[in-house]
Amino acid sequence: MPNNTEDLFDEKAVIKRILDGRKNDYALLIRAHQQQVYAMIMRTTGNPDTAQELTQESFIRAYKSLKTFRGQAAFSTWVTRIAINCTNSWYQSKSCQQQRQKVALDEIAEPLDSGTAIDPFNEENIIRLQQGLAAMDEKYRSVMMLCSLEGKSYQQAADILDLPYGTVCSRMNAAIKFLRKFFREDV
């Protein structure tokens, strides 16, 4: 039993209890971070079923690797990185490729003229953005997911991805250029 109720929310104490055999305490970590992980994946994939599946996979992977968690970063940072890896793996999977093929490209918004303002809440543009993320190299997609979709600072993204700050800046710049081109081209 925890010594006090604060221990229930002290992630390091919860992780220690889990590693000491109290496996049911992992539910505390899931409850604390599940919504954030799901929301990030949902914004990236645009599919609730896929987001739910990848969220579950992320927490399963985190549980299986919990003994390797060093505690240098917060558990939320660590599980976010795992979720990004799961999402990137999904983008490379056959099921993602099949899902992307189901969407007829001619049903998506016409390519935008360079002078056309993009309405980010337009459903067609959201679909187009998700396709752009799917087509993007994972090293750029990871930065885009964190900085643009999750609202993390470049420094926070650097910490999560274990990259130098300058690398995050340059990858974000490349991701933005890619998406601009993607929105202009008839893919």
137-183 residue pLDDT tens: 989 999 988 888 888 899 999 999 989 999 999 999 999 999 888 88
Residue stretches of the chain with pLDDT short of 70: 1-9, 94-122, 186-187
pTM of the complete model: 0.69
Show me where the domains of the chain are located.
1-102, 110-187
CB 67 within 8 A of CB 110: no
Residue 59 phi/psi, 5° resolution? -75, -30
pLDDT 10s digits, 138-147: 899 999 888 8
Second CATH level (architecture) for the domain 1-102: Orthogonal Bundle (1.10)
CATH number for the domain whose boundaries are 110-187: 1.10.10.10
